[in-house]
Structure 1
């Protein structure tokens, strides 16, 4: 079963000069359960090389952690990644699904209930609700949806939902209480002095929600 509870999106520009593979390894030690490799400025060759390096870090782990490639289905196919995450301006979901069939996870970024319904009907495996809060890590996002936006999308679709955008250890729990199955973070881990410690703090918030759910309080 795909565990999207704590989902790391990488960003080379926010890494404080550290290698992406090192941040990924540290974050996984802290409890990250899904990695999305995002490279907006790297060449295709450099993107492929980095994806293979990250995949090599994840491969020996007993707890299977999927590697999702942001935007680039060609890179995902080249390295044998577990999936691809597509935005509203990337390759259409139908075309991506035709190319990979059921062999690859496909996540879709959604900015509204309309987007979410279309992605669900088109065969997406999970949805990234973006952005929940205002975020400086992406300049091309829509207005923040807030918790009400998360609730509205949760009510509209049954697919797994991951909230992204301005999420950190102070608000991760409330995003999940609103209906998200997990939280995706960038700077909260990538820019942390210790990515492992930052991931552990987020994991504690997520575990507290899981405990609430077990006792029927969510």
Structure 2
């Protein structure tokens, strides 16, 4: 599957929103509903716990699994790649040490970050926050559709972008219209009573465009 198709609907884990539910079961339901990629994001989890969760997801699910921040854990778990922020080790310092097909994604939220990302070998950009979100305490002010589109236009040719932050089934198609290959969500799926149905609604929204 091409990267642009793998990025259609990324679901990001958050142990707080899981509220004791099994991560594998919730993510399996999301994949059944149409999620095309899972990102393991557990900011305060111990390396051992993050590794265990990642290995479990890699073994259980037929879609690519990424790890937030920790390339070492991604490699150890056999994950497909890592998603980095600007406080993490420089992306291009990691690239020579990774397998050829290892995905390296980067967060972009400002024109300055877009310029730096353009100069890197990032495989994809995650642009946001598109809209207001309670699920990322470190997120900047919402970009809105115009702000998202402006940053998306700065991506090098061949580098797909996805939208993140406040994404719902009601606004996901607008983000794709604005230049995204897909969307990344946390609460829209993890907070749903029925993660499979929530993922199906989101996948339908991004696939209609």
TM-score bin (small chain): over 0.9
> Is the counterpart of residue 181 in structure 1 residue 181 in structure 2?
yes
Q: What is the RMSD computed on CA atoms of the aligned residues?
A: 1.2
> What's 2:199 paired with?
199
TM-score (normalizing by structure 2): 0.94
Instruction: Provide the rounded CA distance (Å) in 2 between the counterparts of 1:99 and 1:143.
Output: 34
- Displacement of 1:120 in angstroms is 2.6
Instruction: Provide the rounded CA distance (Å) in 1 between the counterparts of 2:186 and 2:138.
Output: 15
Instruction: Provide the rounded CA distance (Å) in 1 between the counterparts of 2:15 and 2:26.
Output: 10
> What's 1:25 paired with?
28
After TM superposition, the structure 1 = structure 2 runs for residues 10-159 of structure 1, keeping only pairs within 5 Å, are 10-58=13-61, 61=62, 65-100=63-98, 102-157=100-155, 158=157, 159=159
TM-score (normalizing by structure 1): 0.90
Which residues of structure 1 form unaligned runs of 5+?
Answer: 210-218
Instruction: Provide the rounded CA distance (Å) in 2 between the counterparts of 1:146 and 1:88.
Output: 22
- Displacement of 1:154 in angstroms is 2.1
Structure 1 segments of 4+ aligned residues over 6 angstroms from their partners: none
How many corresponding residue pairs?
Answer: 204
- Is contact 2:127–2:152 with CA below 8 Å preserved after alignment? no
- Is contact 1:112–1:149 with CA below 8 Å preserved after alignment? no
- Displacement of 1:171 in angstroms is 0.7
